[in-house]
Amino acid sequence: MSDASKPATPQRRSLLQSLEVDTRLLGMIGAFLLVCIVFNLLTDGRFLTPRNLFNLTIQTVSVAIMATGMIFVIVTRHIDLSVGALLATCTAVMAMTQTSWLPNMLGLELGHPMIPWISIAIGLVTGAVIGAGQGWLIGYQGIPAFIVTLGGLLIWRNVGWYLTDGATIGPLDKTYILFGGINGTLGATLSWIVGGVALVAALYALFSARRTKISHGFSVKPVWAEALVMGVVGTAIMGFVAILNAYTVPSRVIARNPSLYGCETAEGCVASYGIPYSVLLLIAVAIVMTVIARRTRLGRYIFATGGNPDAAELSGINTRLLTVKIFAMVGVLCALAGVVASARLGYHTNDIGVLDELRVIAAAVIGGTALAGGVGTIYGAIIGALIMQSLQSGMAMVGVDAPYQNIVVGAVLVLAVWIDIQYRKRTGAK
Amino acid sequence: MSAPLVQMKNVSIAFGGVRAVDNVSIDLHAGEVVGLLGHNGAGKSTLIKMLSGAYKMDSGEIWIEGNKATINSPRDSRDYNIETIYQTLALADNLDAASNLFLGRELTTPMGFVDDSRMEAETRKIMARLNPNFKKLKEPVSALSGGQRQSVAIARAVYFNAKILIMDEPTAALGVHETAMVAELIGELKKQGLGIFLISHDTREMMELCDRVSVMKNGQMVGTERVEDVTEDDILSMIILGKNPKEAA
């Protein structure tokens, strides 16, 4: 209150205040780096190799895509236990569409170029319709989300089973499986181009945010701080591309078909995998979801409803329709995650996505989403998913038995929430 | 004389078997403050929530500036320039002042995205007028004091040029100093020609702030009097006995 009378001389501020960075984000990145370093020591340097980091990213994608949607659900004080089962139903529909329904009913031959796209479109619609249906039961009929989606967990898991008669469906379409990870990557040159475009876009975003602030006469951070943030962001983007590009295609794979990698013969041919399509998909989802959360009325209403449902309603927000929209979004994201998960396997299997609901919720919670509602970030969910996956694959590399792996993951989940509660108490944040 | 700003005619609403508001009529003129008094459960808030669109009345009519109005939702109410400041302070605690001020009516960029910078700039302007001490623009409103939160709620009404303002216990959560600030603001808004419905338990405060007071009991209107025509004791007996002593005499 009293600082109105103070002269406008720049106050001595701490480094973090000058940088205006989110301390929670730093904490999560720190936790992730800690996990990486510990496992790297335990595995004699096998954890922090381009190959393992590449695998880590493609293993994280499916859960991370769903976790970005779970944020909106938890922010509005709901929960969705059905995501893993919904994923299974969507992949069953997509697998049956491309291997059986389209070829048998419409007469499209296997391998027809339209097959993967029609399948994915049908999968996305399936996810949206089922999600919207669950959202309608929750929003308009007042059934608690816990119950609706617990029912959904049993229903959609077994609808998926019913659609496929319990059989494993595959092999899936050649184009479709490009979304799985290692089968579909950009290669070195395109990866650098994508990285460069991302770099320019990120720097432009930071620059234009600063310009807007100045135009409204708001205070901006010092130029050196802005430059430092730009430098860190730029290094992170290009570093990420460099790591993925550093993972080269093994020579025995090149030997099978050298022309795929732009070589006449396998002799002396070096090719990088680069950025997988599935990771590009995750990045696209993350950007879209962040824009929705921060820059649209929909996102504003989601957070307002989470903070105070009554206030949102009295402000003229249709919170029931909002619930339908949120669950429909999650349905779409489950279908997208299903594309990645089934493409990675190359098949639809009955147990695809089993226990994913718990991984997704854990990722959201580790990423700082408050179950009380109103608080959560998209990047937090993605880092949360990455931390979970690093723990799991790290322990597998070290040779920890499966039961112990789950014990550790469970303990980390509880610990993460405890740390978050302590952090909120310290900072006085709600 | 021009038509009243608001006329609620023979309004009723029942919840289950309980007639929460039973055949009540009330009116409000421009530049006037009308106080609503009564015990808890007398039906004051329920009556006012039918005007603000939170409840839908079972029977009766609402007339705004001489025209019959249809109010089925909070949004309809806003379209008639009715703003409500709720007892429970209808603010989303996790959002900052600007987001709350514009909640449901966000300013957008030409692309259709919410324009946070412009909303923040507008919030700074209006706050400089209403509460010059208000500085915590970036923080969630949960970090604000009761008075600061109240000024966000009032700013919402002022910014959108309300003609009719409903204040449900605006000073219930406030300290002495902040209460005085709200009282001053009510005087100011009245001068600008707003009509204000004020709900409170504090009879003395109501005698000071209002032009007329209406007393309700058990969902029914006991009576409406000009404050200069009655004493505080008259009002208290209306609240407690449910009878208008002047009519009885």
Which residue stretches of chain A have pLDDT < 50?
1-10, 430
**pTM greater than the 0.90 cutoff:** no
Q: Domains plus CATH for chain A?
A: 22-183+276-401 (1.10.3470), 185-275 (no CATH)
**pLDDT score of B112 more than 90:** no
The CA-atom distances, in angstroms, between B234 and each of B44, B199, B200, B214, B247 are 19, 18, 17, 12, 11
List the CATH number of the domain containing B68.
3.40.50.300
A→B contacts (Cβ < 8 Å), by residue, are 1, 3-4, 212-213, 215-218, 291, 295-297, 299-301, 303-308, 310-317, 374-375, 428-430
Q: What percent of chain B has pLDDT over 70?
A: 97
Compare CB distances from B95 to A218, A307, A429 and report the shortest one's residue.
A307
DSSP assignment, residue B15? Answer: E
CB-CB neighbors (< 8 A) of A303 in chain B: 92, 94-95
Q: What percent of chain B has pLDDT over 90?
A: 29
Tally of domains in chain B: 1
pLDDT score recorded for residue A73: 96
| Residue B146 at interface with chain A, using a CB cutoff of 8 Å | no
* Cα three-residue angle A201-A202-A205, rounded to 5 degrees: 85
> Closest-CA residue in chain B for A310?
B90
* Cα three-residue angle A319-B89-B185, rounded to 5 degrees: 135
pLDDT score recorded for residue B1: 53
Q: Distance between CA A428 and CA A165 in Å, rounded? A: 54
pLDDT score recorded for residue A13: 61
Does a structural domain hold residue B1? no
The domain in which residue B244 lies consists of 6-248
Instruction: Write the pLDDT tens digit of every residue in B68-107.
Output: 999 988 889 988 999 888 766 678 888 999 999 999 889 9
Looking at every residue in chain B, the average pLDDT score rounds to: 87
**B50 falls in which pLDDT band (50, 70, 90)?**
very high
* Burial class of residue A243 (count of CB atoms within 10 Å of its CB; 0-12, 13-18, 19+): middle
pLDDT score recorded for residue A336: 97
Instruction: Write the pLDDT tens digit of every residue in B190-238.
Output: 888 889 999 988 888 888 889 999 999 988 999 898 988 888 888 888 8
Is the CB of residue A344 less than 8 Å from the CB of residue A145?
no
pLDDT score recorded for residue A377: 92
Instruction: Write the pLDDT tens digit of every residue in A53-94.
Output: 999 999 999 999 999 999 999 999 999 999 999 999 999 999
Instruction: Write the pLDDT tens digit of every residue in B113-126.
Output: 999 889 999 999 88
